[in-house]
Amino acid sequence: MIRLEDILTPGRCTVDVPGGSKKRVLEQVARLIAGDLPDLDPQLVFESLVAREKLGSTGFGNGIAIPHCRLAGCQAPVSSVLRLDAAVDFDAIDGIPVDLLFVLLVPQAATDEHLELLRQIASMLDRSEVRDRLRRATNDAELYQVVLDAQNGH
């Protein structure tokens, strides 16, 4: 089974990302991921995330969004975690603006294993103490560590 620490790197965890709008945040996500994985085209990542949002918002509630999509050219699942400097309207289920994003990109031929990753992310973010620790992280490394600790049940 794939675990979050296998697909998330410290370089793809960032605090105080400028918000602004949903579109601008998704552009930031695409640049962050492509900066860490030069084989991925930031424009394709952005367009794929926007296309998925058009099917229905990935705003999960409690100030969290889990933008995700299948991506041509993506060989293995890739994740990123961002905390915004100011919450943005994400058309979330509960109407609460989003300040935490947990991004998941999966290969075009996604499997049940990828659905399991989404379930792991959602279940971790369902815990208020995990959300609080993510919001209190003072730097990128701390944000990454909170995810690892939460994944391991701490």
d(CA 62, CA 97): 8
Q: Could you tell me the CA-to-CA distances from 128 to 31, 53, 64, 65 in Å, in that order? A: 29, 25, 11, 15
Is residue 114 part of the annotated active site? The answer reads no
Active-site pick, 22, 68, 83, 114: 68
d(CA 64, CA 71): 22
Catalytic center residues? 68
